[in-house]
């Protein structure tokens, strides 16, 4: 069901231009449809700030529930921003104070760039904990993405993520390991998920913390888990919100980092993302880049026009289905107020009724 352009955020226009349904507020007011208000704590760095908005907005908007989705982006002032990103935030984002005053039905927390091995040493740690605490007591369900998952595990369960031998990057196959949970209802039992991270929380760590694993990959590890009550907090380690070009853009950034001397080795291909023809094109490009650097010449541009038509999105349907199930459960366990309010007779410790 549709997103509602409840602000002048440019993301709404971008989504309209790509064919997504976005209702004007006056049109939404003419429809007798339940509103749902979903917050997006966007902690992504400047380069990915607006793209992350679009990706999560689209994922929510494509879910098949009977609702109008009002999205409420906000961020943490402790995150350093450039002038352009800060102007975007100042103009279009809400404050956390406004969010808490109005309330939310559900909350999504994105990942973030970090500078220290211990997340508790990051400047955003304390304000992030404030958001997590507030959401746990006032929001029906919080969906944590990547770094947010690691932060909540460290804060709530004293479970520290572990550094991987190398970056887990690309598209990986996963299997549903609990086919009875409502969040994976009607989801393919085998599906792909993109990952992009240097750290991991293992299945054993999650289970030792009392959490419940729903989706796991042989190579990538756990993608989806849920809190002890099986709904209050939803944990992603992968990135089902990624669009088809997200990993290509990341690969391009890594090449630029190599050219600028910010990384020592030329970046490898993301796992299972480029086909053989594309890999051949990219190997030729790598040779050209290395030759240009050796000769002191300007590095050639990445030949994106020969790459994009060979990319495939093999994760969107399953990601959309899981988000649809998540939104549907929030819809069923809240009323129309913009605060956490379990329906009468629902046990907050078991909102899905899984204990019965």
Residues 327 and 251 in one domain: no
Across 259-265, average pLDDT: 95
144 catalytic? Reply is: no
Statement to judge: residues 273 and 185 lie in one domain: no
Pair (156, 85) in one structural domain: yes
Is the pLDDT at 346 greater than 70, yes or no? no
Residue in 62, 239, 254, 285 annotated catalytic: 239
Q: In angstroms, what CA-CA distances link 45 with 48, 144, 338?
A: 6, 17, 28
**Active-site annotation holds for 146:** yes
Cβ-proximal residues to 280 (8 Å cutoff; 6+ apart), any chain: none
Say which of 50, 53, 241, 254 is annotated catalytic. Answer: 241
Per-residue CA distances from 250 to 31, 44, 170 (Å): 40, 14, 10
Read off φ and ψ for residue 316, nearest 5 degrees: -65, -45
Instruction: Count other C-beta atoms under 10 Å from residue 122's C-beta.
Output: 18
Q: Is the pLDDT at 348 greater than 60, yes or no?
A: no
Is there a catalytic annotation at residue 239?
Answer: yes
Which strands form 35-41's sheet, in the order they lie side by side? 22-23, 3-4, 68-74, 35-41, 106-109, 141-145, 233-236, 221-226, 212-217, 162-176, 190-200
Residue carrying the six token digits 């309209």 = 16
Q: Which residue in the list 50, 146, 174, 250 is annotated as catalytic? A: 146
Count of the separate structural domains present in the chain? 2
pLDDT at residue 342 above 50? no
The set of residues, in sequence order, having a beta carbon less than 8 Å from that of 264 and lying 6+ positions away, is 258
Both 297 and 329 in one domain: the answer is no
Q: Tell me: the pLDDT tens digits for 218-244? A: 999 999 999 999 999 999 999 999 999
Strands, E assignment, the chain:
3-4, 22-23, 35-41, 68-74, 106-109, 141-145, 162-176, 190-200, 212-217, 221-226, 233-236
Distance CA 323, CA 185 (A): 11
The DSSP bridge pattern shows strands 190-200 and 212-217 to be: unpaired
pTM: 0.88
Which band of pLDDT confidence, cut at 50, 70 and 90, is reported for residue 356? Answer: very low
> Do 268 and 150 fall into the same domain?
no
- Structural domain for 36, as ranges: 3-243+313-333
Judge if 271 and 328 occupy the same domain: no
Same-domain pairing of 208 and 252? no
Read off the pLDDT of each residue in 164-187 and give the average, rounded to a whole number.
Answer: 96
238 in a domain, yes or no?
yes
Position 339 in a domain: no
């Amino acid at each position: 069901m549709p997103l509602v352009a409840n602000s002048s955020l440019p993301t709404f226009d971008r989504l309209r231009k790509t064919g997504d349904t976005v209702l004007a507020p006056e049109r939404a007011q003419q429809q007798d449809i339940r509103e749902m208000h979903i917050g997006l704590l966007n902690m992504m760095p400047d380069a990915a700030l607006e793209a992350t908005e679009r990706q999560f907005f689209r994922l929510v908007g494509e879910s098949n529930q009977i609702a109008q989705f009002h999205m409420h982006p906000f961020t943490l002032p402790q995150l350093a921003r450039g002038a352009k990103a800060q102007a975007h935030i100042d103009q279009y984002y809400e404050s956390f104070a406004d969010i808490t005053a109005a309330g939310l039905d559900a909350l999504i927390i994105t990942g973030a760039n970090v500078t220290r091995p211990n997340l508790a040493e990051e400047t955003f740690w304390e304000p992030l904990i404030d958001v997590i605490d507030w959401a746990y007591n006032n929001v029906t369900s919080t969906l944590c993405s990547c770094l947010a998952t690691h932060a909540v595990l460290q804060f709530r369960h004293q479970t520290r993520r572990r550094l991987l031998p190398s970056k887990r990057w690309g598209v990986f196959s996963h299997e549903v390991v609990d086919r009875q949970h409502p969040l994976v209802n009607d989801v393919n039992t085998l599906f792909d998920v993109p990952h992009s991270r240097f750290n991991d929380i293992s299945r054993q760590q999650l289970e030792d913390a009392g959490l419940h694993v729903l989706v796991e990959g042989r190579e990538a590890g756990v993608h989806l888990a849920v809190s002890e009550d099986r709904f209050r907090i939803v944990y992603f380690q992968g990135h089902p919100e990624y669009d088809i070009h997200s990993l290509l853009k990341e690969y391009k950034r890594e090449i630029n980092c190599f050219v600028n001397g910010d990384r020592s080795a030329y970046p490898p291909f993301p796992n299972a993302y480029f086909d053989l023809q594309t890999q051949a094109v990219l190997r030729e490009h790598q040779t050209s880049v290395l030759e240009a650097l050796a000769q002191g010449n300007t590095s050639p541009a990445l030949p994106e026009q020969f790459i994009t038509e060979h990319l495939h999105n093999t994760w969107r349907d399953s990601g959309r289905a899981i988000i649809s199930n998540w939104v549907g459960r929030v819809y069923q366990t809240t009323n129309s107020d913009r605060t956490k309010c379990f329906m009468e007779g629902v046990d907050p410790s078991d909102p899905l009724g899984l204990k019965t």
